[in-house]
Amino acid sequence: MTIATPPPGHRGAPSGTTSAWLRVVLGAVVLAGLLLSGTAPAASAHVPTTDGTSVIRQDGAAVRYTLELDYDTLTKAAGLGALPRDTKDAEHTAFLASHRAGLATYLSDRLTVTLDGSPCPAELGDTGITKRQRFLYARLLLTYRCPGAGSGEFTVRYGVFSEADAIGAEHTNMVDYELGGSGGSDVFDTGHRELRAGHAAASPGAARSDGPESSWSPTGRFASLGLEHILGGIDHVLFLVLLLLGAEGWRSVLRLATSFTVAHSVTLALAVLGWVDVPTEIVEPLIALSIVYVAVENITRGESRHRVLVVFGFGLLHGLGFAGALDFTDDFSGRLLVSLLSFNLGIELGQLAIVTVAFPLILLARRRSWSTLAHIGTAAAVGVIGLVWFVERLLPSGGAA
């Protein structure tokens, strides 16, 4: 095997004796990577999450709430039991219909709507299923009957899949609402479980989205969601670390980061807007394979003159992966664009944080005599983990994203 010439800053190229040691170390690292990948929870490459959507529309004194949630997680949290993995769609639909009372009980104190502080009684109507990518979602239609003419301040409190349910995963729910004469997009998650809209919500900090000041909170939450997604996505982090490991200097980092940013921004936007739809079964294995490719290139020949183009191609894949965290229900609009840009900003901030922390450490390590061993060993270990992820993602699976 040909060992790559280390980037500038390394002390010494590998001699014949060093090359022999490199092969021994490389073999040990590959073995350690295999053991780590087979036993560590990180092999899943992402923090366990579930997602959902909320479409909230006011119709006079009634509020119609269409809620979509991961099917298996919902039935588990509501205490309805689980169906076999080979259950047909019609059976999934019938199961929800037969357990409508149980679902209504579960949601009664976890999803509430009030108007000027007065509760709006809820009624669970139609139930059904829908599929996005390879995942199955339960679709529930709730109608809230509010007192009076339906004017005033609406408050939606969202407690679905809270810590008390012990579902073993973080939960986010994308919200598209039109209430009290205002509309917008928002995110329900662990740190934000309340939405206010209507006449009394015009004060600073409210969730209305009809002005730059009032739309700041949802904007910040989408940026936070993007930041969490890239930092919580171990595969994206390892890909960036490998790029930094093979970069020759700050100019190289700038070229690679720009190429990656432009590429993933393009496919993120196209996928979120629904103009590009590539199945997760294709995207996720290819993201893992991108890690393997860059790791092998770092070991065998270092940064090639074509790496910027290669990174651009892989960035297109990672953008499709980022899009999996978003699921907007409304058509293209100004508020959707703001939410999308905010999410992408969060991704860029996370990427900047990784570069700012990791690359100076890499430059510092290159001044040490053991830098070549560290370079080869790190690339090999990450490459093996990427290969294991590639194989895992080719295997059929179910459950929540």
Tokens of 315: 């960035």
How crowded is residue 102: how many other Cβ atoms within 10 Å of its Cβ?
15
**Mean pLDDT computed over every residue of the chain:** 81
Q: Over range 119-144, report the average pLDDT.
A: 91
Length of the chain: 401
Task: Determine which of 75-79, 130-134, 204-208, 269-273 has the lowest per-residue pLDDT on average.
Answer: 204-208
Is residue 213 scored above 50 in pLDDT? Answer: no
Is residue 393 scored above 70 in pLDDT? Answer: yes
CA 132, chain centre distance (Å):
15
Instruction: Look at residue 74 and give its three-state secondary structure.
Output: helix
pLDDT band at 6 (very low <50, low <70, confident <90, very high): low
* Helical segments of 125-249, H only: 216-232, 234-246
pLDDT in tens, 323-363: 876 766 555 566 778 888 888 999 999 999 999 999 999 99
Tokens of 205: 């900090």
- d(CA 222, CA 226) in angstroms, rounded, equals 6
Q: Over range 47-64, report the average pLDDT.
A: 85
Is residue 227 scored above 70 in pLDDT? Answer: yes
Q: What is the predicted pLDDT for the residue at 7?
A: 56
pLDDT in tens, 260-312: 999 999 999 888 887 888 888 889 899 999 999 999 999 987 667 788 999 99
The model's pTM? 0.70
Q: What is the predicted pLDDT for the residue at 46?
A: 52
Q: What is the predicted pLDDT for the residue at 331?
A: 58
pLDDT band at 43 (very low <50, low <70, confident <90, very high): very low
Q: How far is CA 364 from CA 33, 150, 303, 333, 377, in A?
A: 24, 63, 19, 47, 17
Q: Which residues contact 101 (CB under 8 A, 6 or more apart)?
A: none
Q: What is the predicted pLDDT for the residue at 93?
A: 94
Is residue 4 scored above 60 in pLDDT? Answer: no
Tokens of 194: 């309340």
Is residue 200 scored above 90 in pLDDT? Answer: no
In percent, the amount of the chain with pLDDT more than 70 equals 78
How crowded is residue 213: how many other Cβ atoms within 10 Å of its Cβ?
12
CA 300, chain centre distance (Å):
32
Is residue 242 scored above 70 in pLDDT? Answer: yes
Is residue 66 scored above 60 in pLDDT? Answer: yes
pLDDT band at 313 (very low <50, low <70, confident <90, very high): very high
Q: What is the predicted pLDDT for the residue at 351?
A: 93
Between 390 and 44, the higher pLDDT residue: 390
CA 83, chain centre distance (Å):
27
pLDDT in tens, 145-168: 998 877 889 999 999 988 777 676
